Amino acid sequence: MSYAFTRRRTAAVVLTAALLVPLAGCGSDDAKKDSGAKTGASGTPEADLTVLAASSLTDVFKTAGAAYEKSHPGTKITFSFAGSQELAAQVKQGAPADALVTADTKTMDGLKSDTGTPTVIAKNRLVIATVEGNPKKVDELKDLADSTLKVVLAAPEVPVGRYSKKILDAQKIVVKPVSEEPNVRAVLSKVELGEADAGLVYKTDAAGATGKVDAVEIPDAQNAIAQYPAATLKTSKNSEAAAAFVQWLSTPEAQKILKDAGFQQP
C-alpha cells in the first residue's frame, strides 16, 4: 500500500468522525428533551394540569390554585368541579385529567384501579342552611321533619347526601325533601333563592354564602365528618407534576388556605 493512499484513507476517517460528532450531540440533546417534562424554577415539572374536584372545594381551590401557580411558575391548573359521583363517572369514562379530589373516601375507594394512593387533605362537617334571617326558626335537626317546611337535600348518591341521610337516620328523623340535588352547591342555591326554607350543606359552603343564608350548627354528637382524599390519576400524561400538586395540598401553605376557608385539618 502506498504512502499517498494511506494518507487519503486516514483523512477520510478523520473527516467522517468529525461529521458524526455534532450529529451525536444533537441526538443526546433530543434524548434529554424527551426524557421528561420541563422543570420549572420551583424544581417541579412544568405542566398544564386538569384537576377534578368536589363542588364544595370550588371557592377554596380557586385560591389554592392561584397560590400554587404563583409558587410554581410554568404550571397552570384548570379545575373541573362537580359532585363526587359525577367526577367518578368521568374518571371511569376516561376523561382527560391528572388528579382527583372527592368529598368522601367511599367514592375514592371505588376508583382504586384508576388512581394512585390517596391522601386525606381536609375534613368538613354539616350545618343546616336556612333562608337569611332564619324566618322559619329552624333551630335543630328535628325541625327539618316539619311537614310545613320546604327542605332540600342532596341525592343519596352524593357524598353530602349520604352524610345527610346518615345523621338523620341516626336521630330517627324522617324528612321528605322537596327536591334532591346533584351536589351541595345546588342545595345551597335553592336555599339562597328562597326555593327552600332549609337544607343540609357543608359548613364551608354556608360560610361562603354569609349574608345570603344563615347557618345552624349541628352538635358533634349528631354530626358527620366528611373526609377529602386527593390522588393522581393513572391516565395522567403529567404524572410527576400531578403528584407534586397532590403532595403540595398537605403542605403548611395549602393547609392554611384550607383552614382559612373553614375546613378542618386532616
Q: Can you spell out the DSSP letters for 28-44? A: HHHHHHHTSPPB-TTSS
Q: Is residue 234 part of a domain?
A: yes
Q: Specify whether 149 is located in the same domain as 168.
A: yes
Q: Look up residue 15 and give its amino acid.
A: L
Q: Specify whether 107 is located in the same domain as 160.
A: no
What pLDDT does 46 receive?
78
Q: Specify whether 108 is located in the same domain as 175.
A: no
Q: Specify whether 216 is located in the same domain as 91.
A: no
Residue 74 has pLDDT above 60, yes or no: yes
Q: Which of 214, 219, 189, 185 is nearest to 202 (CA)?
A: 185
**Structural domain that includes position 194:** 124-225
Q: Is residue 14 part of a domain?
A: no
pLDDT-based confidence at residue 265 (cuts at 50, 70, 90): very high
Q: What is the mean pLDDT of residues 236-261?
A: 97
Q: Specify whether 53 is located in the same domain as 176.
A: no
What pLDDT does 242 receive?
97
Q: Is residue 27 part of a domain?
A: no
Q: What is the mean pLDDT of residues 118-126?
A: 98
Q: Specify whether 203 is located in the same domain as 240.
A: no
What pLDDT does 13 receive?
42
Q: Specify whether 71 is located in the same domain as 202.
A: no
What pLDDT does 41 receive?
53
- 171: burial class by Cβ within 10 Å (0-12, 13-18, 19+)? middle
Q: Is residue 19 part of a domain?
A: no
Q: Is residue 25 part of a domain?
A: no
pLDDT-based confidence at residue 36 (cuts at 50, 70, 90): very low
Q: Among residues of the chain, what percentage have pLDDT more than 70?
A: 83
CATH number of 89's domain: 3.40.190.10
Q: Specify whether 234 is located in the same domain as 206.
A: no
Q: Specify whether 218 is located in the same domain as 188.
A: yes
Q: Specify whether 75 is located in the same domain as 98.
A: yes
Q: Is residue 54 part of a domain?
A: yes
Place of cell 391522601: 119
Q: Is residue 6 part of a domain?
A: no
Q: Specify whether 92 is located in the same domain as 160.
A: no
What pLDDT does 7 receive?
44
Q: Is residue 11 part of a domain?
A: no
79-112 confidence digits (pLDDT tens): 999 999 999 999 999 999 999 999 999 999 999 9
129-172 confidence digits (pLDDT tens): 999 999 999 999 999 999 999 999 999 999 999 999 999 999 99
Residue 18 has pLDDT above 90, yes or no: no
Q: Work out how many domains the chain is built from and give that number.
A: 2
Please give the mean pLDDT across all residues of the chain.
88
Q: Specify whether 57 is located in the same domain as 179.
A: no
Cα within 13 Å of Cα(224), Cβ side: 23
Q: Among residues of the chain, what percentage have pLDDT more than 90?
A: 82
